[in-house]
Amino acid sequence: MNIAVVGLGLIGGSIARAFKEKTGHMVYGWNRTQQILCKAKLVGAVDGPLTDDRLAECDAVFIALYPQTAIRWLTEHAPLIKKGALVFDTCGVKQPVCAPCFALAKEYGFDFIGAHPMAGVEHAGFDSSTGSMFEGASMILVPPTGMAIETVAKAKALSLELDFERVVITDAAEHDRMIAYTSQMAHVVSSAYVQSPCSLRHRGFSAGSYRDMTRVACLQEDMWTELFLDNSEPLSAELGELIGRLQRFHDAIASKDAETLHEMLRAGRVRKEEADGKVL
């Protein structure tokens, strides 16, 4: 199979590497900067550059760009894509991306399925990409209404070739609601957490809980600003709820209300056990 990977950053680079390391597919890459494309060729992450001619021969296309850039790329290249080809994005929000891309796919006779690989590290760029990035991770797929079951199955099979542990099929609204909580809000909290003056003096006073809490504060602010604003409603709602819970903790601690505090901590522990699927 010929596979196009558009954007060789952390995720695109990892997709290209994984296909080359784990399958026999041919991989053609495109990147904004030429230097990264050379490096990708050099380390064997791609077989060559993705030209317009090659795009027309690709059976699968992974667009690993920021949301608005991904939509723009597909708008510009849709006429060149092979009929019946399967196109994935990799964006962290699905409603704003899937709607225009579903429409383009219908218009030009290829298939588009929203995709969000639930993997990554806190460092951006091709240099942090690895062929093992998706091992043990989830791939979330968002097919359009009425997509043929065989096409969804093909998208799933291709995801599993990247060694994802599981593939979740959902719709764009549910994806965006869940991601606001599991991923986006974690980045907001981490950024807010590290901005205390105490963080500069943490050495010797910190251990795993500080490290975990601040890990993803080292984020790429251009991308996350776009993702947060594309998902403003679910994210601000979830964040408002969290602030309310933190305020109740604050009040119990400030007023030395042991009973309320104990009950809130107990509720959190029980919830954590439930969420982890432990027998209660």
> Binding to a second copy (CB under 8 A): which residues in 156-195?
166, 168, 175, 177-179, 181-183, 185-195
Q: Which of 132, 201, 279, 280 binds a second copy (CB under 8 A)?
A: 201
**Residue whose tokens read 């990799």:** 90
Nearest to 5 by CA among 224, 99, 17, 131: 17
Binding characters for a second copy, 126-145, by CB under 8 A (x = yes): -----------xx-x-----
Strand, coil or helix: what is 80? helix
- 120 makes contact with a second copy (CB under 8 A): yes
Nearest CB to a second copy, comparing residues 32 and 272: 272
Q: Taking a C-beta distance cutoff of 8 angstroms, is the pair 105, 111 a contact?
A: yes
CA separation for the pair 137, 34 (Å, rounded): 30
CB of 115 to a second copy, least distance (A): 13
Positions 225 through 264 that interact with a second copy (CB under 8 A): 225, 228-229, 232, 235-236, 238-243, 245-247, 249-250, 253-254, 256, 258, 261-262, 264
Give, in order, the Cα–Cα distances in Å from 71 to each of 132, 206, 221: 27, 43, 20
| Bridging pattern class, strands 86-89 and 26-30 | unpaired
- 125 makes contact with a second copy (CB under 8 A): no
Q: Which of 148, 153, 173, 265 binds a second copy (CB under 8 A)?
A: 265
Nearest CB to a second copy, comparing residues 107 and 274: 274
- 57 makes contact with a second copy (CB under 8 A): no
- 214 makes contact with a second copy (CB under 8 A): yes
CB of 182 to a second copy, least distance (A): 4
Q: Taking a C-beta distance cutoff of 8 angstroms, is the pair 64, 41 a contact?
A: no
Strand, coil or helix: what is 28? strand
Residue 194: CB atoms within 10 Å? 18
Helix axes 10-22, 34-42, angle to 10 degrees: 20
CB of 28 to a second copy, least distance (A): 28
- 200 makes contact with a second copy (CB under 8 A): yes
